[in-house]
Every structure is written in C-alpha cells, then in structure tokens.
Structure 1
Amino acid sequence: MLENKIKGFLRDIDGNVAVVIKNFNNGEIIQINQDYIFPSASTIKLVIMSELLKQVKENKLSINETIVITDKMITGGDGILKELNVGHRFTLGEIMTLMIIISDNTATNLLIDIVGMDNVNRMAQELGLKRTKLQRKMMDSVAVKYGRENYTSAQDMLNILELTYKGENIDGYYSKMMLDILKRQQVGGRLNLYLPENTVIAHKTGDLDRLEHDVGIVYLPNCEYIICVLTNETKSNKDGRQIIGNISKLVYDQYAG
C-alpha cells in the first residue's frame, strides 16, 4: 500500500514533512500531516498568480501592459531581474512567468504591489485555502523578525492545484494558462529529482533555510496525479530535497505501472 510505504520512509526522517497526493485515475487520496502549517516560501506565488489573472479577467489589469524595471524595484534572492540593467521593459505576463518558472523575487514583489496583499489573501479565501496567508514580501527579513511570515499547508496547495487542473481557478482559460506556465518550471531537483527526465510536471517549488517544498501535477501516459510535499526543520536543504525526491519516486513507481 502506497501510504504505508511513504509512512515507512518517513519513520526515520528528521524534521517536519507533510504529504498530500490525489490520483485522478483511481481517486486515491493520501494525506499525511495535511493541515500542518509551514512557512510557504515561494509556493505562495501560486496564489499571487491567481489573483493577478483574476484582475486581468475583470479588466482591472492587462497582461500586455508594460513595466519599466527601476533600481527601487530590485529584490535579492532568486531571480534574473536583479542581474539585468535597469530600464528594461516587461509585460505583466512576462513578469508573472518569471515569478513562477525561475521564482524571481523582484517579479513577485512587483506583482504584490500591483495586485495588493489584501487581495491576494482574499483570493486565498475564495479558493478555499484555509491555512494560506501572505503577510510579507519576498526577502523581507525585517517582517520576519517581527513575526510576519507567509504560511500554507499541503492540503491548501493540493486544493489550488486541483482547482487549476479542473479549470476552476478563475475559469478554464486562465487555469490552462497557469498550467502551461507551471509546466515550464525551471527550478527542479525536488519532485523530479529521481524521475525520468521526460516526465511532465506542472509544479512550483519553495525554499528557505532548512525548508524545501515542491507541489505539482504529474502527467504520466496512463495516469495524472497531484503530489504536494512540504518539509522544514530538516538537517539541511539537501536532505529536504532528497526527502521530496524519494517520496515522489515512491508515488511514481506505484502509479507509472
């Protein structure tokens, strides 16, 4: 039984691990620590993308409107925008794509300013994400010091991915757009760590010190399933990535047939 295999693997693991899996072919659902609240790291960017596209649908924003990158916008951590000369012009759609496929923090903070933090949290509520909250921008160490962290759970991540998979995150058109971007993810080494290189996954990673997450939809020829693995307080980030990779491989081996 897959759930027992995963629990057996987790028995000797140091740290906190949550696993939620949903197989769309046979309906199997596995939930381990599904409501445990973790710092979200970059998985919160799924909700930011959803809110941006909701505002695009409502004609409050245009995905083709452009923004010129200035010095004041630059944020540290992951991303490419901070490495470029200022003055480049990007569309909102391009900034959103950079936020997801390379987890660009400058792009993320720009979008938080544009769509509004309160609106992102309202979107999380509308999507039924009971334990997901955006309380600070990326790389805001002062906010962290004062206890303002971003949070989520494995169950919430499954919920937003399932709505998107079913075409119910905003609507079918924007859900497909989100999935297409998530399939172009360039940050790997977690869910796909031990899987065949040609495995298609629409996913989003996240990492902080001794925290690694990866949540996504795996597309196999005979089966499609959501897998969300959240970890923290592991011995190292490398350990966290390997935990995710090992659990993902157990699931793949079970479902690939």
Structure 2
Amino acid sequence: MIEERIREVFARAGAVGLLHAVPVDVRSAVAVEADATPDDREVAVSADEPVVIASVFKVLLVLEFARQVAAGQLDPRERALVTAADRLGGWGTAGCLDDVELSLRDLAYFAMSVSDNSAADLLLARVGLDTVRLLAKELGLDRTRIVGGPRDVLQSMFAEVGARSEAEFAARYPELPDDHKRRLAVLDPQRTNASTPREITRLLRLIWRDAAGTPEACAFVRDLMTRQVFRHRLASGFPDEAVIAAKTGTLPGLHIETGVVHYPDGGCYSVAVFARTRELTASRQAVDAAIGTAARIAVDFLRTRDR
C-alpha cells in the first residue's frame, strides 16, 4: 500500500512520518468545505494525529496580515524597527547585529522566505494573536491551536530549562537528559502551536482557491511561499519543472514542511509532512530528504488517479 511505502521511507531515515496529500483542484467548493475528498484522491498517513506545527504557524499569521491589508485595516508600508530587544537569533532580522527598519510587508516576506522569528513576532504584535486564532476557526481548522508567537515559544523553553538568556539556554540545554528535553512544552501538541496534517493541507487548499480571504490576500501568501529559500525538504523530491510553494518548520527532533506542488500540466497538490526522530537534533539530512521522497511518492500516486 502507498501508506506503507511512505512509512518505510521514514523508517529508513530513522524517523516516524505523518503525511497528508490531496489535489488542490478539488471537484467543488463543497468538497473543500466538508473535507469530503474521496479516499482515492488523497494520501493519508496518520493525517488526523495532532502535530506541533512550529513555524508553519507563520502561514496563518501572514494570511491574517494580508487579509487586514486587503480590508484597509493595515498599511503594508508602515515602518517597523527591529531592535536588539526583538532579536531572537536565527535567519533574517532575527540574527542581525544592528537595528533594522523595514515595512510590515517586508516583515511578512522575511517571516515566510527565511522563517525570520523576529519579523514574525513584530508582525503578530500588529495583527493580533486573537485575530489569528479567530481566523483558524473561521477557516474550519477546529483542531488547530495557536498559543503564541516565536518569542512565546522561546520563553517557554527558557523557563522549563531554568535559563534567563539565550546564552544560558545554549549552555544548559545540551546537558539535559533526553527524557527531560522530550517533555518540553514546545514538543507537545497539547501545549504549543499545533494542528493536524489534514487541517494544514486544508488551509493551503483554501489559500490556493482564493477561499481563505480576498483573491489579493491569498495571492500575497502564495507568492511569498514560492519565495522560500529552503529547498532541502519538500522540493528535494520533485523535478525542476515542478513549482514548489512551501513553508518549513523545525524544532529539536521535528522536521516539518507543508506546501503546494504545481506541475506544468496544471496538476496541483497540497502536501503536509511531519517527521519525528528519536534524536533531538534540528539537522538530519536523511530525514529532510525523506520528506521530499515521501511527498513525491504521495503526489505521484495522486497524479495517476487524476489521469
């Protein structure tokens, strides 16, 4: 069975994988609203199991930002200043050594293209946490939980480790026993930003069908997802002619990517892949490659059903 092939791909990489893949061009809007996709037009591997979504949360955040811009509630050119107090470390402005001034829409760009945590936090402060939560409910993502932004996640890790700063956390975390690390709230879908693979593919289908907001807002999110710089997971499994729009998520022991694969012949598929490893590391090339391989197996299966 196709599901067993996918499980074997992850097992060979030393991981457990959860996956959902479904065509974007479903037969009717009713099917999207009801998630009534026929079984032969989806691939589901533990697709209804709760999962930590990590930075995949930024898709909802940027969608809400784009909706508020389209409604005239926010000016995308409004300036924001990223200071030392805002920097969390990592990519984009989060890792800069000096203050950076940029527009709100450029915060959205950095949050999506390089998963900039500082940019996401500042954008969340303008958009509002409660509005992001309400958006998830509006879109029928009833099993999606949003508890906060990147800084909230980081502060929860600091508190559980007993660290007062990033430097202190970096010194203490490696010395913790693995069972302590696995109990951290950021790795528990009951206590952090979480969803299911099926709900994440639903979110992307709604965005690609202009059903998650105005066409302008949905197009903004689609464009930013095509500009993600990371190509080592989902994109690694597909040929060059396939256009991949995606968003990664990473935490110790969690390798995540969701996206839409668009072929030149018009075939379009929403995929969400979540891989867990026993080793609590953030970098495992074999697992990242398995994400691409598993997604390709699922999409190839769906493409045979569409012909």
Return the TM-score normalized by structure 1: 0.89
RMSD: 2.4
Does 2:254 match 1:242?
no
2:89 aligned residue (76, 84, 95): 76
Which shifted more, 53-62 or 206-215? 53-62
| Structure 2 CA distance for aligned equivalents of residues 93 and 153 of structure 1 | 28
| Structure 2 CA distance for aligned equivalents of residues 24 and 113 of structure 1 | 32
Does 2:210 match 1:170?
no
- Residue identity matched to 1:67: A
1:61 aligned residue (51, 74, 88): 74
Alignment correspondent of 1:115:
127
Q: CA deviation at 1:7?
A: 4.5
Q: CA deviation at 1:13?
A: 6.4
| Structure 2 CA distance for aligned equivalents of residues 72 and 11 of structure 1 | 42
Residues 30-41 of structure 1: matches in 2 within 5 Å? 30-41=43-54
Q: CA deviation at 1:78?
A: 3.2
Tell me, which stretches of 5 or more residues in structure 1 are unaligned?
none
- Residue identity matched to 2:195: T
Alignment correspondent of 2:257:
214
- How many percent identity over aligned positions? 24
Q: 1:84 to 1:196 in 2, by over 3 A?
A: farther
| Conservation of the 8 A alpha-carbon contact between 1:234 and 1:240 | no
Does 2:139 match 1:127?
yes
1:101 aligned residue (103, 107, 113): 113
Q: 1:158 to 1:26 in 2, by over 3 A?
A: closer
Q: CA deviation at 1:112?
A: 1.5
1:160 aligned residue (168, 193, 203): 203
Larger radius of gyration, structure 1 or 2? 2
Does 2:230 match 1:187?
yes
Alignment correspondent of 1:231:
275
| Conservation of the 8 A alpha-carbon contact between 2:117 and 2:150 | yes
| Structure 2 CA distance for aligned equivalents of residues 119 and 247 of structure 1 | 34
| Structure 2 CA distance for aligned equivalents of residues 228 and 219 of structure 1 | 14
Alignment correspondent of 1:251:
298
| Structure 1 CA distance for aligned equivalents of residues 262 and 134 of structure 2 | 30
Q: CA deviation at 1:143?
A: 1.9
Return the TM-score normalized by structure 2: 0.75
Alignment correspondent of 1:138:
150
Q: 1:234 to 1:245 in 2, by over 3 A?
A: farther
Runs of 4+ in 1 over 6 A off after TM superposition: none
The structure whose residues are more often helix, as a share, is: 2
| Conservation of the 8 A alpha-carbon contact between 1:143 and 1:149 | no
Does 2:6 match 1:19?
no
| Structure 1 CA distance for aligned equivalents of residues 244 and 44 of structure 2 | 20
